[in-house]
Amino acid sequence: MGIEDTIAAIATAAGPGAVGVVRVSGPGALAVADALFRTGRRAVPREPLSARPSHQVHHGWLQAADGRWLDEALVLVMRAPRSFTGEDVVEFQTHGGATVPYAVLEACLAAGARLAAAGEFTKRAFLNGRLDLAQAEAVNDLVTAKGERGLAGALAQLDGALSRQVATVRADVIGFLARLEAAIDYPDEIEDLPAGEAIDGLTRLLQQVDGFLATARQGQVFREGARLAIVGRPNAGKSSLLNALLGHERAIVTAIPGTTRDSLEEGLQLAGVPFRVVDTAGIRETLDPVEVLGVARSRDLLATADVVLLVVDLLAGVGAVERELAALAGDRPLVVVGNKCDLADAAGLDTLGAPHVAVSATTGAGLPALQALLVAAALGMPAAQASPTSINARHRACLEATRASLTRALASVHAGLPGDFWAIDLTAAAAGLAEVTGDALAEEVIDQVFARFCVGK
């Protein structure tokens, strides 16, 4: 399997649909198209697709090698290098469903293409210089986006926003390194870099890298969503609050304590940020064996949540149960909400040591303020302060290695070590930044990145 192969795959989701797309890319893409494409019901078109101009749409019929008619279709021809992969690309737009696209794909394979591996189209775009690695990863983020913020971030990254920011910092590191090595290689002509200037420069570089690393948490939330556990004593209004946040009746609400026996999970977006909200069983001492299991599960979910929403019944006030739950949250972001503010005053919420707000799940009072607190807890900052671009787990590993290298270089300066020591760590820092965009990366790492993509992308 190499880049010299011609590859094919279905590029649309499986199942019923109006349109199915079969994508073919590689040096033999046009030959594959010629083998299938017919004008009307004639045996062959007057002019084969391989002889026609690029970036045109052609209407016709597709025929298998054994003479079977497969479908009436539109065929798009995009010649190298003006295509997504940078190669000759043909896309067959057929009717959707579970039969037609697969029949067309089989005909493409019979005509000389091979089945594409996961992410291989985007990988070829990277290898052919159409995208850098950060942009290629944004393609996957784009198709898997779970919320508006994730979509906006993926588009910005696909447009090169993160790559440009990283390239600017890398250029600064390389400039610093060039100045240092010039002084080492030509000591008679170029003065040593003063320690004070080196300390200032390295400190600025560390601040820039820290700025990237600060977006890691929001990047994870935008890409995967934040798991929000709603906890509290029975009848505090947890299910009512879930329904109010969702805007529809999802959970059963009654005046009977212990109505919720098991966890109930639902997707939710607040200010474009995706959440997976889990309504848990009320935590209390009980002899009911089913409720005992629900309470145990509630404690487990609290321990694994990204954000904990502790619901306090303002009619009952803050008690031992609420203090225990606040303690169980540990270092997880905790938001305290006093429910039933239409029936009682908000008092004692501040004693739990977390951001708090009073609401009424019945009237909707206070819900916008609660939503803002939840978003800030998930992102680690108010939504308005969130960066338009954010790093993923791979970027984070590269940048943490870069930060470690810059930190060692700064320590060498403070220790009065020669510039040769600084240069070693600055070279490593530049390499770490290059890995973010794929300018310097091992082949096995590249393979791992694209293995997470779907086939046909």
Which tens digit of pLDDT belongs to each residue from 201-221?
999 999 999 999 999 999 989
Q: Is residue 289 part of a domain?
A: yes
Categorize the per-residue pLDDT at 248 as very low, low, confident or very high, splitting at 50, 70 and 90. low
**What is the pLDDT, as a whole number, of residue 302?**
72
Among 89, 80, 139, residue whose Cα is nearest residue 113? 89
Residue 329 or residue 442, greater confidence = 329
Residues 31 and 102 in one domain: yes
For the ranges 25-29, 136-140, 278-282, the lowest mean pLDDT is seen at 278-282
Domain hosting 73: range is 7-116
pTM: 0.82
Residues 243 and 354 in one domain: yes
Mean pLDDT on 75-81: 96
Q: Is residue 454 part of a domain?
A: no
Q: How many residues does the chain have?
A: 457
Residues 312 and 180 in one domain: no
Among 208, 197, 135, 132, residue whose Cα is nearest residue 172? 208
For residue 90, give Cα distances in angstroms to 11, 40, 77, 118, 430: 12, 19, 5, 18, 39
Residues 231 and 189 in one domain: no
196 pLDDT above the threshold of 90: no
Residues 171 and 22 in one domain: no
Domains held by the chain: number: 3
For the ranges 109-123, 197-211, 327-341, 434-448, the lowest mean pLDDT is seen at 434-448
Q: Is residue 256 part of a domain?
A: yes
Residues 229 and 378 in one domain: yes
Choosing from 346, 366, 385, the residue where a domain stops is: 385
Residue 40 or residue 88, greater confidence = 88
- Burial code (b: 16+ CB inside 10 Å, e: under 16) for 185-198 equals eeeeeeeebeeeeb
Which residues share a beta bridge with 358?
338
Among 143, 221, 207, residue whose Cα is nearest residue 390? 221
